[in-house]
A and B are shown apart, each in its own frame.
Chain A
Amino acid sequence: MSAVYIARATTVAARALDGEMMIMSAKDSTLFTLNPVATVIWQAADGQTPLVDIVEKKVCAEFDVAPAEALQDAEKFVGDLANHGVLLVSKEPIAAAKPVAGAKP
């Protein structure tokens, strides 16, 4: 299977509140609240790291979950957010991702 790269869309607004990551989809005005696993994926979506590496090196390192199961869940999550224009998905590395909310420039 070819690598999949994901990047945070530059047009969305995201805020970390009370330990929850909230993301506003400007495309359809949907507000998402991410769970801790989804937050890790969102924060790692730099457009340069393949999704499979994010799952193996970030998700599986922080949470007690099997890689295959985690990847399956991650692909579904990524697909959902991509449909709302919140994440960009490509088979090639993606140039610019939105900075992580709260990160210093």
Chain B
Amino acid sequence: MGALAGIAAHTLVIEIGGVAVLVRTGSAEFLGMLQARYSGFVNSHARPLCELEVELVPPGKISDEDEVAVRFIAGSWLIERGDLRVTWDPVSGQGSIRQSANPYSIDTALRIIHSLILAKRGGLLVHAASAVRNGKAFLFAGVSGAGKTTISRLAPPDATLLTDEISYLRRNGHGYLAHGTPFAGELAKVGENVQAPLAALFLLRQAPENKIQPVREGEAVRALMESILFFAHDSELVNQVFESACDLARRVPVFRLSFVPDHRVWELIA
């Protein structure tokens, strides 16, 4: 039990995209905060791939890194930002997080750890909204302001929102599965914990008329690389992420979706 020996430890297993992470904390209050935030993604029966021990400290600067820094040192990943310090051994799966009692720092830690796990497995975390309609998943990528939140807000009742912010993709047979995530954006709404085969990737652009145009493979890869969440300066993993982007662009149809921000855009998506 290490640092928690002698005091009660509370645990929670958060499963996203089929990858379960056990979080251990000495604070029942913090655990309650996590249970509320990740409610649709808590699965006490899942077998955790990682175990993270949270050390809560008073609010304040924990690292000198202003931006997220991800490094591989002596067999472990070190993730640092001003508000958190994470170490995680990818072989044993054991790790620790030092942060104050807030839900945002651990959210960042989970995103980055998932991005590292996915990179090894040919999957991707993409800065994109995604939704399921008629059993098929659709991804909506674009720079800030391109319309990810807007198209999520306009989704019809028969569409299930996977996320308005961070999409989770895993290789599956000859294609990809899109999974729901609890990583919310401006909508502040946690995605549904469901999955579906990825049918298309749309590159968003708001315009005076609705229009869908196919995108060439090279352009699709460039757009994807701009949207993929990956912070580690690790040549092997960077190359794997690039190969995954190329693979996805080859296997999944990619379109430019120019749209008027009203409900009619969803008539094009089915």
Q: Which residues of A contact B (CB under 8 A)?
A: 11-13, 15, 17-18, 20, 22, 24, 26-29, 31, 33
Contacts and interface: CB of A to CB of B under 8 A. Distances in A.
Top 4 nearest A-B pairs by Cβ distance? A26-B235, A13-B239, A24-B242, A26-B238
Given A15-B246, A17-B246, A31-B225, A26 B218 contact: no
A20 B235 contact: no
Interface in B217-270: 217-218, 221-222, 225, 230, 233-236, 238-239, 242-243, 246, 249
Given A13-B243, A31-B221, 18 more contacts: A11-B235, A13-B242, A15-B243, A15-B246, A17-B221, A17-B246, A18-B216, A22-B218, A24-B225, A24-B238, A24-B239, A26-B236, A26-B239, A27-B233, A28-B233, A29-B230, A29-B238, A31-B222
Given A11-B235, A17-B246, A33 B225 contact: no
Given A29-B230, A29-B233, A31-B225, A18 B218 contact: yes
Contacts of A29: 230, 233, 238
16 contacts: A11-B235, A13-B238, A13-B239, A13-B243, A15-B221, A17-B218, A17-B221, A20-B218, A24-B225, A24-B242, A26-B234, A26-B238, A29-B233, A31-B222, A31-B225, A33-B218
Contacts of B230: 29
Chain B at the A interface: mostly helix, strand, loop or mixed?
A: helix
Contacts of B221: 15, 17, 22, 31
Question: What's the interface size class on B, roughly?
Answer: 10 to 19
Contacts of A11: 235, 239
Looking at B225, B235, B243, which has the most chain A CB atoms within 10 Å of its CB?
B235
